[in-house]
Amino acid sequence: MTPLVQAEQAALGAVFLDPGQLDQLSPWLQPDHFYRPAHAALYTAMLKLQAHGHPATKVQDGELVPLSWLTDTVAEASEHTGGLTASYPHLLVSVCPQPTHAAVYGRMVLEGAIHRSVAQHATRLHQAARADAIRGDADETIHHAQVLSDVLADLARRWGTEPRPVQPPAPFAASAEHPQPVHEQLIVDEEFLLGCLSARPDKLLDVVGWLHPGDFADAGHKQIYRSLSALHHRGEPIDQLTVLWETQRRGALSDGVLDAERVLRICDPLATGGAVEHFGEQVVKASLVRTAAGSARQVRALADEESLAPGRLIGYALHALGPLDEVRRRWRIASGAEPEPSRPGSSPGVSPPASRIDAARSRSRPHRSAATAPASTAAPQPPLLDRHTRRSPS
């Protein structure tokens, strides 16, 4: 028998011995918090009898509890579940260590319910994300993500803590991401989007506010988009060669994520058709679904960790949902459901200001250190090539 089942038995046994304990349990302990259906039915029957003013609930301290409290509770509970016998309440009474500890036993029951509820809703979110990934949709994922967030907030209130995200320590941190199957059409959409952005760099202004490199499922596509964004940020020209050079500077060619032929193919200037905003929205939507699946797995792993106290479990779970909330916000902006926040010094459809371009370009150039700078302030000599090729006077 698990400690949780023993806690449920002890809580019910305490109420059988002292019906007045319901006054401190009923405001926060609900029947669905009990794991065993028979225990939930007995607790429901107790609450109903209390609401109807059963004489046992009015017994004062030191007075005997009438036997009818046990028999009436079993009779009421038997109408909603099977397997209950008249002797079972006596067993519950016998295993209760101390009736005055009913609130403590009730919190044990609630703690088990919190772990169980978080695990169940995380599983539903993961299943919804898997299904949406196949359908190319996100509605069910968004619905179940909101349900999980609401459940965590409600459980925090019942437990008596604030529903705020808390970064878990190393033993409970997220493990390495599991590779998730990606639909072939999504890879095609990502390549087409990158090709359109390379051929029409002005369209980057329409997506850089809500489309992030991490939204791309393919590692190479992430690097190409980072390169496009960096060139755009510095106000430098964008074409096949500049993108290829930027990916090389970022190490994407040396580490094997990309090769030159693939970059040139994706950034082919002939890929000029298509609505950039539409394909960008598809990429963000797919990112939302993948992020939801990863967050759901992490929350489920936390819920399965029995050593976590409910307050820490709720805080860690909310932290795990943080990346999902961030992607969901950007997808709402991409789909037009939420306005894009204005960025300082920029406006939609306007090129980056000259000051930002100069600053970005200066950061991207190699600088000569002060130690190696020439001490003389004399005028610089012409390039060697000019001196070597200068004709002598005839």
Q: Do 85 and 219 belong to one domain?
A: no
Work out the pLDDT band at 3, boundaries 50, 70, 90.
very high
Rg over CA atoms, the chain: 32
Q: Single out the residue in 97, 127, 153 at which a domain terminates.
A: 97
Let me know: does 84 contact 74? Beta carbons within 8 Å. Answer: yes
Q: Is residue 359 in some structural domain? A: no
Place 171 in a pLDDT band, splitting at 50, 70 and 90.
confident
Q: Is residue 394 part of a domain?
A: no
pTM: 0.79
More confident residue, 374 or 185: 185
Which of these three, 315, 334, 353, is where a domain ends? 334
82 shares a domain with 40: yes
Could you tell me how far CA 145 lies from the centroid of its own chain?
A: 8
pLDDT greater than 60 at residue 94:
yes
C-beta atoms surrounding 131 within 10 Å: 13
What is the DSSP code string of 182-205? --HHHHHHHHHHHHHHHH-GGGHH
Cα four-point dihedral sign 110, 111, 116, 117: positive
Higher-pLDDT residue of 347 and 248 is 248
Q: Is the pLDDT of residue 284 over 80?
A: yes
Q: Which domain holds residue 93?
A: 3-97
Which has the closest alpha carbon to 141: 167, 121, 156, 155? Answer: 121
Three-class SS of residue 359?
helix
* Residue 375 confidence (pLDDT) above 80: no
Extended beta strands in the chain, E state: none
Whether residue 167 is contained in a domain is answered as yes
Residue 195 is assigned to a structural domain of this protein: yes
Contact 330, 210 (CB under 8 A): yes
In a domain, 27, yes or no: yes
Q: Average model confidence (pLDDT) for the chain?
A: 86
Whether 360 shows a pLDDT value over 80: the answer reads no
Query: What average pLDDT does this structure show over 377-384?
Result: 44
Q: Residue written as tokens 């036993």?
A: 105
Question: How many domains does the chain contain in total?
Answer: 3
**Residue labelled with tokens 């990158």:** 194
Q: With bands split at pLDDT 50, 70 and 90, how would you rate the model's confidence at 300? A: very high
pLDDT at 353: 58
